[in-house]
Chains A and B, each alone.
Chain A
């Protein structure tokens, strides 16, 4: 898989942050979903974001991915101000992501889902006079990506036939095939069984260490086990940031999560 990930290009020097959110906020009418969150992500860094339901994790995620424009603050991607830049453009800059709520192409085969992802935004997607070919480079890449998440034997099945866990794996295959330089994962383990969870955990652990990952997760053990640094949010606000151990031992986090650890 390592070969599939380009090394980040750039005007920015080595060690310069790949993603910077500076006091971003998002207000929906009367709800301040995200309130002045700042976040800096170094190359190759893995950051976890935890917090209870409605803490604003997905909203923060959307601000970073470009699905929502912030009502306050700025976002920088690879040293470039992208605060007002749309989702497609950020994807082309190298931002890959998965969705919390699955919106896979249900009528297509698993392979076709990944093929559409692999062509994302390239001139190949504009070819309209030639059929999709099973042996071309796009298909090879799609199959390799399916292989890396352990889904190759389901390539010809339609998405509707996949289990929930397999759909989450497909989500990741689709993000990886775009060869992202930063990967955002929104609750990849939501609704998975214990076995599926450990499969997913291994999958994320095996991703190249050079790939920076922002992992949003309810499940503390997963979020803390896979990351270098964790941020906890509540009611849109920053609570604490630190190493997994520091966050685990933090009194406020304990209070927020008390009795919630086996929820979901």
Chain B
């Protein structure tokens, strides 16, 4: 195991420990609830991150995929179906929508891919609004319960920490696998990959399916958290915020989505209490990050740490490393 990898795994273990102990540090119910929102957003953002960083496909439709999955659970709950059916339906609807997205977008690139995902997101939004016999239109579906064992907010929160750990690890493994290398090859040069015998669209579809399946899970978790789904869950704005989270944290970093999600959710929920124009605050943070830490907060921190370590390895005087920073070290 390389040193970078050891540091990364150690940081990840510490972070999970910190996340898991959070509800026991005298935190209020509200704080645990916000932290739950952050974790769900982080899972969703990490699916966008994977697709954009390894696949070179920036999606503006992932909010709608999660929203569609949420509606799947909502509809099943409305019909009085069992919990198992609710879960199954959420995943089936989410994966179906993902398949439609994937099939329609796998032959596109860059801006065209962006437009296809955006347009499909709008279709989902439109359906959520108009198909009111299924979705209850503007009012949305309320009273969606989560499984009995997760009823307590702290239990649900701990479950989310587990989900975050598992999905992050899964995407990390995929990214380092031969499939991940193939994706990056396609991102860098489709023509070369074709000439090496790769059926490019099939790999892009595969990446989209992996990403969309986890996004569907995030949608189910979201509806378990809020017990509610309405068309606003599928709005374009949600997908845009996911991209903002990814860029704030650092495209292609393992922990960037969590950091980005934390900032966005905190600004959205906490700053908005005192400052009415929270989008302006978020915009400012975003611009400052892009100007001064273009690789995102995690990406830039990792760069600084790596440079510094290389410096000390070369025998330069050891400047004290701020201990707190190590927890944000990404697995590069």
**Footprint of B on A, CB under 8 Å?**
65-67, 86-88, 91-92, 97, 99, 103-108, 112, 115-117, 119-122, 124-132, 138, 174, 178
Contact = CB atoms under 8 A, between A and B. Distances in A.
A107 B195 CA distance: 19
B129 to A, nearest CB: 36
A199 B210 CA distance: 45
Contact of A119 (B174, B182, B195): B182
Nearest to B197: A121
Interface of B: 173-174, 176-182, 184-185, 188-189, 191-200, 203, 206, 210
A131 B196 contact: no
Give 4 nearest A-B pairs by CB, closest first: A121-B197, A120-B196, A128-B179, A91-B197
Nearest to A121: B197
B179 A91 contact: no
A117 B191 contact: no
B254 to A, nearest CB: 14
A50 B210 CA distance: 47
Contact of B185 (A92, A105, A138, A178): A105
A67 B192 CA distance: 10
Of B177, B185, B195, B210, most A-chain CB atoms within 10 Å: B195
Contacts, number: 103
Contacts of A117: 196
28 contacts: A67-B191, A67-B194, A67-B195, A86-B194, A87-B191, A88-B200, A91-B194, A91-B195, A99-B195, A103-B189, A115-B178, A121-B197, A121-B199, A122-B197, A125-B179, A125-B182, A125-B198, A125-B203, A126-B179, A126-B182, A126-B203, A128-B179, A128-B180, A131-B173, A131-B176, A132-B176, A174-B196, A178-B197
A132 B177 contact: yes
Given A87-B191, A106-B188, A116-B185, A124 B178 contact: yes
A88 B200 CA distance: 8
A129 B173 CA distance: 6
Of B178, B179, B203, most A-chain CB atoms within 10 Å: B178
A105 B189 contact: yes
Given A107-B188, A128-B210, A131-B173, A119 B178 contact: yes
B196 A128 contact: no
Of B177, B198, B199, B206, most A-chain CB atoms within 10 Å: B198
A66 B181 CA distance: 24
A174 B188 CA distance: 15
A114 to B, nearest CB: 11
Contacts of B195: 65-67, 87-88, 91, 97, 99
Contacts of B206: 126, 128
Contacts of B196: 91, 116-117, 120-121, 174, 178
Contacts of A99: 191-192, 195
Nearest to A113: B185
B194 A105 contact: no
Nearest to B196: A120
Contacts of A88: 194-195, 197-200
Contacts of A120: 193, 196-198
A103 B186 CA distance: 11
Contacts of B200: 88
A117 B116 CA distance: 30
B180 to A, nearest CB: 7
B228 to A, nearest CB: 35
B201 to A, nearest CB: 10
A225 B179 CA distance: 41
A115 B176 CA distance: 13
A185 B193 CA distance: 16
Contacts of A97: 195
B188 A105 contact: yes
A130 B198 CA distance: 19
A30 to B, nearest CB: 25
A216 to B, nearest CB: 15
A254 B174 CA distance: 57
Given A105-B189, A116-B196, A132 B184 contact: no
Nearest to B194: A87
Nearest to A65: B195
